[in-house]
Structure 1
Amino acid sequence: MAKIDAARRAEIGREKRARTRAQILEAGTMLLAEKPPEALTVDAIVEAAGVAKGTFYYHFQNIEELAAAVGSKLGESFDDLLTAARLELPDPIARLSFAFTQFLEKATSDPAWARLVLQSAQAPTEFARGIRAHLKADLTEAIDQGRLSVRDVELAADIVLGIWLQVVRGSLERRTVSDLSDLALGAVLRALGASQPRMEIVSDRVGRSSRTTT
């Protein structure tokens, strides 16, 4: 019986530590949506999380490690948005279009998430590099197929990300128009000189993804 009690106590301890870490991570996420890591202090984070400073250092060595954990969590949210539906699209422009509209719709429906993405995109984080790498993979395939008039993949990625980030900033500052995603995607495809994807497939995937997440 004593061994069972000891095992249970250890399990309770792990669960408590996990909840505390999640609490700090949530506070860090909230604060990082408003300001960059270099503008944060441990005091501000522990105050928002409602924990002691020593508790923060038990889970994270410094602000940079916390920011990395927030970035990793943000990257997971991007993967969740894409889901398996993106992998079903053989057309690279359709994949790009699907990802673009999914991310934009998420940003307009969740301003806190959008602010966090904007802050994270300004720093050379693993999250930002990962998003760009996935985008460049689709753009490279489209360029190889002769589907884009912009032939430089880095420039093409700058165009897509630049438009997306600017549209998201605008959506946070003013009322969002009902067809914002379609208008912004059209601007991206025109800027890339892209041949049109099979948009009925993209619309079908977006619709199915929305139904499975509601």
Structure 2
Amino acid sequence: MVKYAISMSIADQSSLSPRAARTRAALIAAGFDLLADRPIDAIPIDDVVARAGVAKGSFFNHFADKQDFAAAISAEVRMEVEALVTARNAAVSDPLERIAGGMQIAAQFALEQRRRSAVLMRGQGSSTARAHPLNRGLVADVEAALANGLLRPAARENGVLFWLALCQMLITHIVERKLGRDEAAAVLSGMLVLGLTGLGVAADRAETIAAAAARELGASSAG
């Protein structure tokens, strides 16, 4: 069985004592503030525990190392994004539109939550595996599209990684370039066309889906 260092972030934490839960929450909150401004390798553990107001030994009661810590923080943000994707796709049955909707939400999140997006990108490396719990929704949509003959066979093994990489690059581009909503919508449209056709979707259908997602992003109000 594959085990993930951030499993505590995505599973029921009721096994923690109230005190341990408070300590972990304080560490995560401190990490959000620090990781938004600098990469995890540039953040001493002493800075984390000082900001959290806990003993240094408490850090290692909850996290194996700084990379594990960054992954746990990133997972917290990723769960926010996944909740937004789930809400956006609740009434959407077409798996291609659902896949595109995930990228649209990624772009919207980057526009509206730039600091949290930076945190997401700085700890994302451990959540790209197809079997990772945070990727269940995307895996299901890719499988549904494959079952309907909408994607090329290679998407079964590599489609999820391919799509996650595109979404990560889109978020990074929007945040680093400080794009406005119209600029981001244009980039989203182009990446959706390239991404969907790369998965094997017919060009005309990819363009139609991309245009609709870009319109939706452009029309969405900033949060």
With normalisation by structure 2, the TM-score equals 0.67
Match of 1:183 in 2: 190
The DSSP-based 3-state class of the residue aligned with 2:83 is helix
- Offset of residue 150 of structure 1: 4.9
Written as runs of structure 1 = structure 2, the 5 A alignment for 1:122-201 is 122-124=125-127, 129-176=132-179, 177-178=183-184, 179-195=186-202, 196=205, 199=209
- Offset of residue 103 of structure 1: 1.2
Q: 1:154 to 1:204 in 2, by over 3 A?
A: same
The answer to whether structure 1 residue 121 and structure 2 residue 124 are counterparts is: yes
Structure 2: how far apart are the matches of 1:77 and 1:180?
23
Match of 1:57 in 2: 58
The DSSP-based 3-state class of the residue aligned with 1:122 is helix
Q: Which runs of 5+ in 2 are unaligned?
A: 1-17
- Offset of residue 168 of structure 1: 2.4
Candidates 102, 106, 112, aligned match of 2:105: 102
Q: CA RMSD in A?
A: 3.8
Letter in 2 for 1:44: D
Q: 1:203 to 1:92 in 2, by over 3 A?
A: same
- Offset of residue 159 of structure 1: 2.1
Which digits, 9 at most, give the CA deviation of each residue in 1:8-67, with x for residues without a partner?
Answer: xxxxxx79x84x65443221123344324x664431102333x1426x728953455754
8 A contact 2:188–2:214 mirrored in 1: no
Written as runs of structure 1 = structure 2, the 5 A alignment for 1:36-115 is 36=40, 40-49=43-52, 51-53=53-55, 57=58, 60-62=61-63, 64=65, 66-67=69-70, 69-115=72-118
Q: 1:59 to 1:175 in 2, by over 3 A?
A: closer
Q: Which runs of 5+ in 1 are unaligned?
A: 1-13
The DSSP-based 3-state class of the residue aligned with 2:93 is coil
Match of 1:6 in 2: none
- Offset of residue 121 of structure 1: 1.9
Answer with 1 or 2: which has the greater Rg.
1
8 A contact 1:105–1:181 mirrored in 2: no
Which digits, 9 at most, give the CA deviation of each residue in 1:99-149, with x for residues without a partner?
Answer: 1111122123322222222222212589x9233332222111111111113
- Misfit runs of 4+, over 6 Å: none
State how many pairs are aligned: 194
- Offset of residue 92 of structure 1: 0.5
Q: 1:135 to 1:123 in 2, by over 3 A?
A: same
Which digits, 9 at most, give the CA deviation of each residue in 1:151-193, with x for residues without a partner?
Answer: 3322222221222222222233324224222222222112212
Structure 2: how far apart are the matches of 1:167 and 1:204?
13
Match of 2:8 in 1: none
8 A contact 1:150–1:156 mirrored in 2: no
Letter in 2 for 1:61: H
8 A contact 2:114–2:175 mirrored in 1: yes
8 A contact 1:42–1:63 mirrored in 2: no
